[in-house]
Amino acid sequence: MQLFRTESSDKSEKLLPSTGALALAITKVYLVLTSLCALLYLMGGMSLLDAVCHALSTVSTGGFSNYDASFAHFHSLYLDCVAIVFMLAGALPFTVYVALTSRKLSARTLPGLFDEQIRWFLVFCAFASVIMAVWVAVTTDVGPFQALRLATFNVVSVITTTGFVSTDYMQWGVAAAMMFFALYFTGGCTGSTAGSVKVFRHQVLFQAIRRILFRMVNPHGVMSLKLDQTPVSEETLASVMAFMFLYAATIFVIGLGITMTGLDFVTSISSAATAVANVGPALGDIAGPVGNYSSFPAVAKVLMSLGMLLGRLELFTVLVLLTPRFWRL
């Protein structure tokens, strides 16, 4: 239950009486979302196999496509829009959907609908998509509408750690590549299927920075950390800061190991970052959005596999399993 709370950050009263009941409800929500996504893909012209494969990959923010070109294979505005909606749906807290279907439906039991984390996440996705679209429209010969379509799809795909691609965004220039690299570390909301850092941790760090600046200006002032009017404990802050340090250290160590296999710096560090963040495509000609990792040395593949496991299991969960005290409890 503590591990579940660490991932879900659910600060409200329990929606269901037991963890098992909540797990079952979340599973039902996942199946409903996946089925609806597959149905809409079918209506957009996908075959049954394509619809099922891509629906499973969209809601779970997994990113697997049964085509080398990923979503670029379909060239469909309708399918792009469906994918964007369900990638975002998969990156929202699943407890919100459970609350929506719960008999306890009320403003008190639905804090997720007004959750600051969700607002931050959706606003950031929109903001990053617009910035990228403007950049593409200004620096390339792509029209404004097409630029917005391509930018929104790929930005949402990276932020939600889905990993679908609809174009080779490495062709948009170094600045676009740097923006996508930064988006690797965003992630969705806690309690979602998305990987990476998660919005909740960014919120905590942002509040911590605000408090540091406040104390520099007002040495004797007092400023508490709050999210959604709920105080953030010093223990939570310390845990988030430790996680961020460990996260960065893990990427550095794995990236260093990959460079030792003979790959260039950009490919190595972006591959390490995308592995730990569970995004999918990296940067560069080899492992970029239109590339893959098949040519990587075996050692690099092992390191990336380790990075994917560490990132998906939230680092501390793995470290706990490696402590002797855990096995003596």
pLDDT digits (tens, 9 = 90+) for 153-174: 999 999 999 999 999 999 999 9
CB contact set of 187 (below 8 Å; sequence gap of 6+)? 91, 159, 160, 161, 194, 195, 196, 197, 198, 199, 277
The yes-or-no verdict on residue 114 having pLDDT over 80 is no
Q: Can you give the pLDDT at residue 12?
A: 46
Write down the pTM of the prediction.
Answer: 0.88
What are phi and psi for residue 219, nearest 5 degrees? -55, -30
Query: Mean pLDDT over residues 289-310, rounded?
Result: 93
Q: Which amino acid is at 260?
A: M
Q: Which of 267, 263, 82 is nearest to 170 (CA)?
A: 267
Residue spans of the domains in the chain: they are 2-183, 234-328
Lowest mean pLDDT segment, chosen from 29-43, 83-97, 227-241: 227-241
Q: Can you give the pLDDT at residue 11?
A: 46
Q: Can you give the pLDDT at residue 10?
A: 44
CA distance 324 to 326: 5
CA distance 195 to 313: 9
CA distance 322 to 314: 14
pLDDT digits (tens, 9 = 90+) for 10-38: 444 456 667 788 888 889 999 999 999 99
